[in-house]
Structure 1
Amino acid sequence: MTTETSPDSSLHFLDYWRVIRSRKEIVLAVILLIVLTGTAYTLLLPPVYMAQTTISVQEDALDVDVFERQIMGNSFNPFFLRTEFEIIQSRPILYQIIDNLNLQQKWSEKYGGDDGGMIRREDVRKLLARSINVSQFRDTSLIEIQVWREGDEGAQESALIANELANVYREHRLSVKRTEIRRAVDALNSELMKQQERVNRAEEELETLRRDLGVSMLAPGLQADNVRLQRMEADRVAARVDMLTRKARWEQLEALTGQELLNASAYIVNDQSLMSLRRNLVDAEQQMALLGENLAENHPDIRRLRAAIDDLKQKLAEALEGLKAGVRSDFEVAKTRYEALDEELERIRTEGIEMQETRYLPFQRAERNLLVQQEILTALRARVAQEGIKLEIPKTPVQVVDPAEAPLRPAKPNLLLNILVSIVLGVGAGVTLAFFIEYLDTSVKTVDDVERYLELPVLGVIPQKIRSLYEEGAESPHAEAYRVLRTNMFFASKQDGKGVYSVGSGGVGEGKSTTLFNLAYVCAQLGDRVLVVDSDLRRPVQHHFVNMTNKFGLSNVLMEEVELEEAVKATSVPNLHFLPSGKIPRNAVGLLDSRRLKTMIDKARESYDLVFFDSPPIVGVSDAAILASLMDGVLLVVQYRKYPRNISLRARRLLENVGATVIGVVLNNINIMRDDYYYYYHYSHGYYSDETAAPELAETPVTKDAKQDVF
């Protein structure tokens, strides 16, 4: 029969947590083992010291340029620092450190070479290279050099090597820079000699042209013309400025009329006659104003003054018109002079250009060539002098920012870190091992396992380490688990609280006998007349629970040696009777396969409310199947985490093959601290822990559809 996949069969986080919790001993053991191993290993390791020094590294200019336009290396070069990392750890640098610090001799004494001799120089270099770590500070040109050394002398040795490495690398960069500068200076000196020869040839060529063209040392032909042109250009500019000034003065006078022109004339020209006319006019007007207050309009003095004022105004107007004409005349003269100078200058320029293009052009070219060659020679001399200074006092491309100091404490091993790592590894390994063991473990672990694989309802969940309730007493807190089982069994069997049942299991040792007795004990406590029949003829144990002998019992009844009433024994528990297995015959095969057993069952059914048969293991023993076929129902006991679930599944199929009715499963001997049973058990125990009696029946049976309401 194939199992059906339920909607809630998918794994949940709680399923994983259940696995970890159920296997916590394994997880903790693995964690403890790995932590102890890691701690012991750490304590056994020799101390390792780390010293570090920080250096600032600058990229050199790419070349030596005569005119100081070289690329200074300021642009970002992603490969520069990585290249320097390799140079710092290169063979020449490390060999120099080995020689400077005599490491070959020291380490040969410390580590010992072949046959007690010296360690090879290359082996020392490899050891040294493994001790060095070079890295970059982020977004800077700083390089951090770390040196790791173990042993008691590791602190001093690591600092010594780190500082020596920085110094050797700095000297290496300086040596490379000096070599490059010396090579550049040699090239500049060679070029300087060639340039001196070019200047000499240019001077000879210029002197030859000067003699051929008849040009004096002062260049009277060409240079005199240039001086004349400069002078005439200055005169032309001055004439233009004078013309524009006079033009502005004339335009301003033209725009003025009347009193404005009279007022402005004093600032434009310094004309004494005009100023005299203006003073006379002002005096006459003042005298007219004084006489007008005392004399009539037609008085001779008034008429005489009025005529004088009119005459002065006429003369002043004529003088102003003459002023305008004079200013305009000055402008015209300045304009004419400017135009004449401009024409003369243009003529001279034209003649000069024609003369240069024809006669003096070769001389001018030779002169310009000489000037250029002399400038190049001067620049080369300055550059040679500058590079000579750099050669003597070179700019250091490497600076030690933070020298190494001997560490006070070892950097390795880090006990706390190793313990934390061991814990993490232990947790990972422990959880992995727990899940692997859980994967290999196919036993029944949860109620869900029963319902998923066996497709049977769980009627009861019995915790571990429960003894017989006959010993624990009626007030045992464990009794409630069996009361729940009784209630669920009645609901599942639909027998109205009566019937004949067998309690069996797939294998040996799953707790079916204890479960049967405690269930019968609880039923008897609640008023049911109960008969317990020990039908496991090969391994009877029920008589031990009630401290009775096993001399007479079921086997005797089936062999008709005694009657049922004579074989049944009353116990000290009210309403509980017991039928032992009786003396076990030599050949018990077929004893249960008889009509007498059915007759006995019918007779017991009439006398008792409940009859419980302790069945042999179902798998491997045929008596269990025969007995189950005669029962009203069968309780299948499955022990928690004992047998593979295939054993229980096989038992269920065997019972179904003989027509037995399996009413449910009792999950026995569970660990209440695991697999989500903690809440159920403590809730039940707490609810009935007082002195009041538990209710006779639980409210709801545990079925496949309603297990959540009970558990």
Structure 2
Amino acid sequence: MNQSTNSSSEASLHAIDYWQVVKNRYGVILLTFLLVFMTALVITYVMPKRYQSTAVVEVKPKGMGTVVLRGMGDDLGGRESSSTMFFPTQFQIITAQKTLDTAIENLDLVNRWGADQETVRGILKGIVSAQDIRGTSLIEIRVRYNDPKDAQKIAKEVAEAYRSGRLKEQTDRSQQTVEEMRKAVTAQQDKVEDKRKFLAQIIRSERIIYSGDQSVFGASKGVNKADEAESAARAYLETEQEKIKLESQIETLLKYTGPQLMNYASGLSLPDNIIPRLLPEYQEAKREYDAMASQGRGERHPMMLSNAKRIEGMDRDLIEAVANLRETLKAQLALAEEQLVRLKVQMDSKEEDALRAGIAAQSFVDAKNEFETAQELLQELKLKLVSEEMQTKIAEEPIVMREEPVVSNVAVSPNITLNLALGAVVGLVFGVGVAFFLEYLDTSVKSLEDVERYLQVPVLAVIPKDVGVLYKQSGMSPDAEAYRILRTNIEFNRKNPEDNAITVVSGGAGEGKSTTLVNLAYICAQGGYTTLMIDADLRRPRLHTFFDINNSVGLTNYLTTELMLEDVILQTPVDNLYFMPSGILPADAAGILNSRRMSELIQDVKQRFDLVLVDSPPILGVSDASVLASEVDLTMIVVQHRKLPRNMLMRVKQAVENVGGHVIGVVLNNVDVRSDSQYQYYTSYYTYYAPAESQPMPAPAKGGSQAPAPRQPSRGSSSDDSKQDLY
């Protein structure tokens, strides 16, 4: 949850930073915008005017006109018109060399424009364009030229050249198609005649009676050769099975003897088989003989002898009947073998006849189908030929002019509104890009984080832009709160309470160090500090101008003469605030400042005052500031927001530290809190917490009047006063 919240805050911060860049660089953005916009305006003004003339033609692909025979070539036009490449191809044809050359010749543009053919063709390629009207088969032929009459004529002639070229192409293609189809019909007629002759030859050779869709093979009154072959094969198979049966019966008769033989023979179904009748009688006679024997009659009994004689006769009859049956089966077997040989010959003959008849029938069917297919194709070709011939005679125009080009009196180019709108958009985008690029190249101090990251010292205060001299303002100004914050941060950032001599330096001129020093001194004096301001800028002193004090006697006079300290320290109109002017400017300012008397002066005023503020020249320009930094306790750097590069500020700090000075912190001056929103929270409370009623200020003294020397406070009281809560 915390991670997502941090990411959201970071993204919001980036957005604010981007907006901050735009606000800070709005002048660059505005200037770039105006330059690009004015450039677009000038270019639009100097561009030649072009007038447009448009011819609208309807394109009819082949086959989309009147259809003579439905189904004959209907899909050709459909495929052509539905092709995604059709209209792009037509656009290229319209602007092709052949079409443009026809228009050039019809308008005699070579002589009219006084140029060669290639040049005129290049001009037309640049001014002629084609575009389809979405959802229709219409094409707009557009011509943009600086002469409206020439634009109208060129559009008309290009459309006419395209129409005539398309018509000639379609006519030539139709004639070629008709000629090719005639050749195809003639060739197909020859094929049909050859197929007919071949079919007639098969009919004659195979003795086929052919009438329409029916045909009879041979002269046997319609006997089907395949059925005859099948019947012969079936008869042969039945005879062969009968032969096998007879062979099995004979083999069994030879294998069995006695009762088994009799039982098997009685089961055979043959016309001369008497065994089924004799065998029951024989068995009955034996049963009677056995019955009489069981009754006690002997073998010599007349009835026993009679029955025995009868059984013997019946036994001989059965043996003879079996022998006769065997001979009958052999005779039938021989007959079956002879019949099987005949059937074999007959079956082979029928199969040969059926095979030959089948081949002849297949040849006939194939020849008949080929003949009929050739006839159908011939009929279709004839119908297509007739359709194409009629289509050629009544063919419609492939290109129809739907809108004639007219002379336009209104220029279509340049488009002033579009050009200016693009210029505005491009100018704005380019301006923002330049702003961000300059921001990327800008290495000046932009934020408190920059100061603390590169200088490794705290930011003591953020001073808003356009803050004047506080003691001259009526009432309690809200801007004074920034200096109260500065006073408090100085108090808590100095490690030793005895370090009360502070010099104010800057990297370059015009960063507001003198104003910062005056306002800080005023705030400290208001808080009860006895404060001394020393104008040690012996190059361009400015502190005396804030109080309208004469600068003729001051620091240089004290350092070079035997004047007393009370002679050069003046009372300002503000209670507790004292001032030492610079005095007459010397030739060697650094030499005067780098003297024992200057060191003694610093030590003396430190004992007399609670706070000593020393103004110095820019530290990177001259060596005076470095000398002062080595004499005082602390050094405060004033940095103007977005002015000096970061590397120069680092050199300022290094210059102070090189002479043994101690940097207490940085004052970020002249911050435009209205454009730099990240600093608003530093100053948003100034007005809110400002006193409701202003306190009356003491009347200022006349410039140049000498104040009495301040009394020397004890160090204990000074230390106690410095620790008061001044808010």
Q: TM-score, normalized by length of structure 1?
A: 0.66
Q: CA deviation digits over 1:64-101, x for unaligned, max 9?
A: x9995796364564444433332222111122223344
Matched residue, 1:272: none
- Whether contact under 8 Å (1:52, 1:147) holds in the other structure is yes
Separation of aligned partners in 2, 1:407 and 1:26: 43
Could you tell me which residue of structure 2 aligns to residue 121 of structure 1?
117
Among residues 137, 144, 148, which one is paired with 1:149 in the alignment? 144
Q: Which residue identity is paired with 1:72? A: L
1:110-133, Cα deviation, whole Å (9 max, x unpaired) = xxxxxxxx2223322221121223
| CA shift in 2, pair 1:555/1:396, >3 Å | same
Cα 1:42–1:690 shift into 2, 3 Å: farther
Structure-1 residue corresponding to 2:25: 23
Kept in 1, the 8 Å contact 2:208–2:216? The answer is: no
Aligned ranges 1:200-599 → 2 under 5 Å: 377-394=378-395, 396-398=397-399, 409-473=410-474, 475-494=476-495, 499-599=500-600
Match of 2:171 among 166, 178, 194: 178
In structure 2, what is the equivalent of residue 39 of structure 1?
41
User: Based on CA coordinates, which of the two structures has the bigger radius of gyration?
Assistant: 2
Q: Which amino acid aligns with 1:83?
A: T
Question: CA separation of 1:633/1:693 partners in 2, compared to 1, >3 Å: closer, same or farther?
Answer: farther
Aligned residues: 551
Which residue does 1:130 correspond to in 2? 126
Relative to structure 1, the CA distance from residue 601 to residue 370 in structure 2 (aligned partners, 3 Å threshold; closer, same or farther) is closer
Q: Tell me how far apart the structure 2 counterparts of residues 186 and 128 of structure 1 sit (CA, whole Å).
A: 38
Equivalent position of 2:323 in the other structure: none
- Higher deviation after alignment, 490-499 or 430-439: 490-499
CA pair 554-473 structure 1, distance change in 2 beyond 3 A: farther
1:450-478 Cα offsets, whole Å, 9 max, x none, are 12221221112223333333433453443
Aligned to 1:84: 90
> Offset at 1:432?
2.7
AA matched with 2:178: V
AA at the equivalent of 2:545: H
Q: Give the AA of the match of 1:185.
A: V
1: CA distance between counterparts of 2:195 and 2:569? 147
Cα distance, 1:208–1:425 mapped onto 2, change above 3 Å: closer
Displacement after TM superposition at 1:557 (Å):
2.5
CA pair 660-99 structure 1, distance change in 2 beyond 3 A: same
Assess, with a 3 A threshold, how the Cα gap between structure 1 residues 476 and 360 changes in structure 2: closer, same or farther: closer
In the aligned structure 1, how far is the partner of 2:517 from the partner of 2:456?
Answer: 22
CA shift in 2, pair 1:550/1:126, >3 Å? same
The amino acid of 1:432's aligned partner reads G
2:568–2:580 Cα contact (<8 Å) kept = yes
How far apart are residue 587 of structure 1 and its match?
A: 3.6
Task: Give me the whole-angstrom Cα distance separating, in 2, the residues matched to 1:9 and 1:189.
Answer: 84
Give the residue type in structure 1 aligned to 2:49.
Answer: P
Alpha-carbon separation, structure 1, partners of 2:443 and 2:528: 40
The answer to whether the Cα contact below 8 Å between 2:52 and 2:408 also exists between their aligned partners in 1 is yes
Distance 1:436 1:222 in 2: 100
TM-superposition CA deviations, 1:589-644 (whole Å, max 9, x none): 43223333333223222322211111232224333223223323211111233333
> Take 2:570 and 2:359, find their aligned partners in 1: how far apart are those partners?
157
Task: Provide, for residues 297-330 of structure 1, a one-character-per-residue CA deviation record: whole Å limited to 9, x for no partner.
Answer: xxxxxxxxxxxxxxxxxxxxxxxxxxxxxxxxxx
Q: What SS does the aligned partner of 2:413 have?
A: coil
For residues 595 and 364 of structure 2, what CA distance do their matches in structure 1 show?
A: 149
Partner of 1:437, secondary structure, is: helix
Question: Aligned partners of 1:430, 1:499: CA distance in 2, in Å?
Answer: 50
Q: TM-score, normalised by structure 2?
A: 0.65
State the one-letter code of the partner of 2:172. T
Deviation, 1:662, is 1.1
Question: 1:470, 1:545 within 8 Å by CA — same for their partners in 2?
Answer: no
The one-letter amino acid paired with 2:40 is G
Residues 33-69 of structure 1: CA distance to partner in whole angstroms, max 9, x if unpaired? 11122123213323334455555556558xxx99957
Distance 1:191 1:433, change over 3 A: closer
Offset at residue 365 of structure 1 (A): 8.8
C-alpha distance 680-214 of structure 1, shift in aligned 2 (>3 A): closer
**Rounded Cα–Cα distance in structure 1 between residues aligned with 2:584 and 2:497:** 35
Runs of 5+ consecutive residues of structure 2 not aligned to the other structure: 1-6, 64-68, 223-350, 696-727
Match of 1:603 in 2: 604
Counterpart-to-counterpart distance in 1, 2:155 and 2:137: 15
Do the aligned residues in 1 keep the contact of 2:210 with 2:216 (CA within 8 Å)?
no
Q: Distance in 2 between matches of 1:363 and 1:532?
A: 136
Deviations 1:390-425 (A, max 9, x none): 221225555566666666744322222212211222
Measured at CA, do residues 456 and 375 of structure 1 come closer, stay the same or move farther in structure 2, by a change above 3 Å?
closer
8 Å contact kept, 1:533–1:611: yes
| Distance apart, 1:224 and its partner CA | 13
SS of aligned partner of 1:636:
strand
Secondary structure at the aligned position of 1:425 is classed as helix
Cα distance change, pair 9–171 in 1 and its aligned pair in 2 (3 A) = closer
Question: What is residue 723 of structure 2 aligned with on the other side?
Answer: none
Counterpart position of 1:616: 617
* Change beyond 3 A, Cα 1:361–1:684: closer
Aligned ranges 1:628-647 → 2 under 5 Å: 628-647=629-648
The residue type paired with residue 446 of structure 2 is K
Spell out the pairing of 1:627-666 with structure 2 (5 A cutoff): 627-666=628-667
Contact 1:451–1:458 (8 Å) recurs in 2: yes
3-state DSSP class of the match of 2:430?
helix
Distance 1:365 1:578 in 2: 134
Cα distance in structure 1, aligned partners of 2:534 and 2:690? 32
Deviation, 1:569, is 1.0
Shift of 1:585: 3.6
Distance, in Å, in 2 between the alignment partners of 1:512 and 1:53 is 77
Please report how far the alpha carbon of residue 196 of structure 1 lies from its aligned counterpart in structure 2 after TM superposition: 5.1
**1: distance between equivalents of 2:440 and 2:207?**
116
Q: Residues 120-163 of structure 1: CA distance to partner in whole angstroms, max 9, x if unpaired?
A: 2332222112122334566x674643414133x43x65455445
Does the CA-based 8 Å contact 2:50-2:144 persist in structure 1?
A: yes
Change (3 A) 1:392 1:593: same
Segment of structure 1 superposing worse, 477-486 or 357-366: 357-366
Amino acid at match of 2:481: E
Q: Is the 8 A contact 1:135 1:144 kept in 2?
A: yes
Between stretches 525-534 and 685-694, larger displacement belongs to 685-694
Cα distance in 1 between the residues matched to 2:117 and 2:191: 56
Tell me the equivalent position of 1:72. Answer: 76
Whether the 8 Å CA contact 2:128–2:144 is kept in 1: the answer is no
**Whole-angstrom distance in 2 between the partners of 1:494 and 1:360:** 129
Q: Structure 1's 36 and 634: CA in aligned 2 closer, same or farther, altered over 3 A?
A: same
Q: What secondary structure does 2:592 align onto?
A: coil
Q: Tell me the residue number matched to 1:94.
A: 100
Q: Separation in 2 of the partners of 1:495 and 1:59?
A: 101
- Return the alpha-carbon distance in structure 2 between the equivalents of residues 638 and 213 of structure 1: 125
Give me the CA root mean square deviation: 4.5
2:599 partner SS: helix
In structure 2, relative to structure 1, the CA distance for the partners of 1:225 and 1:569 (3 Å cut) is same
Unaligned runs of 5+ in 1: 1-6, 109-117, 230-349, 695-711
Contact 1:19 1:438 in 2 (8 A): yes
State the AA in 1 paired with 2:462. V
